[in-house]
Structure 1
Amino acid sequence: MQVVTIHAAKTNLSQLLARVEAGEEIVLARGRNPIAKLVPLKPVAARRRFGALRGQISLGPEFFEPLTEQELAAWE
Structure 2
Amino acid sequence: MESVNMHEAKTRLSQLVAQAAKGEGFIIAKAGKPVVRVTAIDSPEKGQQKRIGFMAGEFTVPDDFDRMGQEEIAEMFGG
With normalisation by structure 2, the TM-score equals 0.53
Aligned residues: 47
Q: CA deviation at 1:43?
A: 2.7
Task: Return structure 1 stretches of 4+ with deviation > 4 angstroms.
Answer: none
Structure 2: 5+ residue stretches without partners? 45-59, 62-79
CA RMSD after TM alignment: 1.9
Identity over aligned pairs, percent: 33
Q: Which has the larger radius of gyration?
A: 1
Structure 1: 5+ residue stretches without partners? 45-54, 57-76
**Hey, what does 1:36 align to over in structure 2?**
36
**Hey, what does 1:17 align to over in structure 2?**
17
With normalisation by structure 1, the TM-score equals 0.55
